[in-house]
């Protein structure tokens, strides 16, 4: 039981670091981030508002993961967003006529293939966190009646 809790907490901690780093790095150079999103393949049609939406999503995931009672939703949301982003990366690498800038990368200077590998690691951490979160024995709340009288 204690090991699963430690694994869950470590997974959540790693995810918070990833999402916080992504949020902060895009905020510090938001003009460039927004300009590059507007020019990105498949994203240009939503380029005016998408950078703001992505930042709200990033901070939202961080907040969901920080609050213990919202962690389940945070882990699920993190997984969904990471799967969507990984799908976008795979699509660009396999089907796009050209590979655009690396503006959407988590870390500056990494290429699209490296970003894809990084995403697979984040997905693994997220899945491990979800599995251990769900496998922990949950105690019923004292205010909920658990037997019929």
Higher pLDDT, 12 or 88: 12
What is the chain's mean pLDDT, rounded?
A: 84
Supply the pLDDT for residue 139: 53
The answer for residues whose C-beta is within 8 angstroms of residue 6's C-beta and 6 or more apart is none
E-strand ranges in 96-135 read: none
Delimit the domains of the chain by residue range: 2-135
CA distance readout (Å), 84 to 4, 80, 87, 92, 115: 27, 6, 5, 12, 14
User: Do residues 11 and 60 touch, judged by C-beta distance below 8 A?
Assistant: no
Please determine, for residue 103, whether its predicted confidence score (pLDDT) is greater than 70. no
Tokens at residue 146, please?
């658990």
Please determine, for residue 98, whether its predicted confidence score (pLDDT) is greater than 50. yes
Backbone angles phi, psi at 114, to 5 degrees: -65, -40
Q: CA 123, 16, 47 angle in degrees (round to 5)?
A: 75
Query: How confident is the model over 56-86, as pLDDT tens digits?
Result: 999 999 999 999 999 999 999 999 999 999 9
């Amino acid at each position: 039981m204690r090991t699963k809790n430690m694994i869950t907490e470590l997974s959540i901690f790693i995810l918070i670091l990833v999402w916080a780093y992504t949020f902060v790095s895009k905020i510090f150079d938001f003009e460039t981030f927004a300009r590059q999103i507007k020019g990105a393949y498949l994203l240009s049609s939503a380029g005016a508002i998408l950078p703001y939406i992505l930042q709200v999503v990033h901070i939202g995931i961080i907040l969901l993961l920080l609050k213990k009672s919202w962690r389940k939703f945070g882990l699920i949301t993190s997984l969904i967003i990471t799967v969507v982003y990984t799908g976008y990366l795979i699509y660009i690498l396999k089907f796009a006529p050209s590979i655009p800038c690396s503006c959407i990368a988590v870390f500056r200077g990494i290429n699209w293939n490296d970003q894809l590998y990084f995403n697979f690691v984040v997905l693994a951490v997220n899945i491990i966190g979800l599995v251990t979160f769900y496998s922990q024995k949950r105690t019923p709340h004292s205010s909920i009646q658990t037997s019929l009288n």
